[in-house]
Amino acid sequence: MQFEEMGNMSGKTLMLLPGTCCDYQTNFGTVITELSEKYHLICVNYDGFDGSDLIFPDIITVTEKIEKYIKDNHGGRLDGAIGSSLGSTFVGQLIMREKVHIDHGIFGSPDLDQSGKVSAYLQSKLVVPLLTSFTKGEKKRNKTKEKLKSFFDMSEETAEKFMQCFSKFNPESIKNEYYTDLLTHLKDDIHVEHTIPHFIYANKMGEKYLKRYKKYFRNPDIREFDMQHEQWLFGDEKYAEPVLKAIDEFMEAKV
């Protein structure tokens, strides 16, 4: 595991938790400068995605390591934590387990998919080979890059960074991350005193995800944005600026 602290060290603490098949450098690379100006950032790379030879074990084992770091280095408390996509699973677990305290849990347009073992196994057998084959061969690589640029309004540079991210990690780590995320369930109607769950709702994902947010958390603070899944992180200021403003408002909200 890798934990790097940076930014405004006198500002509020904000942990950054990246999504599937990503490190924080790629996932938050387009907004980390802006976030660093206001917040004491704690940037996380999971086992298997931290440049080491370790393999990602499972969501709960990694959650326990994150909890230990927060206890050992921040007295068991953070002002905020933001999870990008799969990273939101960790935010949800940190809130639900109550081993540490987070004032503001920020969920970056997650799908919060949950399933049983058979379904998770079948899904991982289908999806993981796709994630690990995007960059095999120049033709497939270029085709995937063009799809990323078109669907998410990505620049050439940002699309290239994500392509590199897909290709540099051990397929076993990717499989374990994807598979165990599906098996790591949240309870319904989670409510922790003095914690506010905030959701960045990308409405182009569809309303079924909005229903999930309301199912798993009691009275969540949901902000709707006209964008695709995590589109604010892909380099276009017209998506990033409104979300960054919302994050500031989240972090200032009274708990």
Domain chopping of the chain, boundaries:
2-113+186-252
Per CATH, domain 2-113+186-252 is 3.40.50.1820: yes
Q: Which two tokens stand for residue 48?
A: 């298997």
Q: Give per-residue pLDDT as tens, 121-178.
A: 898 888 777 776 665 667 777 777 777 777 677 777 777 777 777 778 888 999 999 9
CB 210 within 8 A of CB 220: no
Strand duo 40-45 + 2-7: pairing? antiparallel
Q: What is the pLDDT of residues 195-240, one digit of tens each?
A: 999 999 999 999 999 999 999 999 999 999 999 999 999 988 999 9
What pLDDT does 134 receive?
61
| Residues paired with residue 202 on neighbouring β-strands, in sequence order | 225
Q: Which residues pair with 221 in a beta bridge?
A: 198
Per-residue tokens: 191: 């409510």
Q: Which amino acid is at 156?
A: E
Residues 6+ apart with CB under 8 A from 139: none
Reported pTM:
0.91
Q: Are 89 and 181 in contact (CB under 8 A)?
A: yes
How close are the terminal C-alpha atoms of the chain, in Å? 30
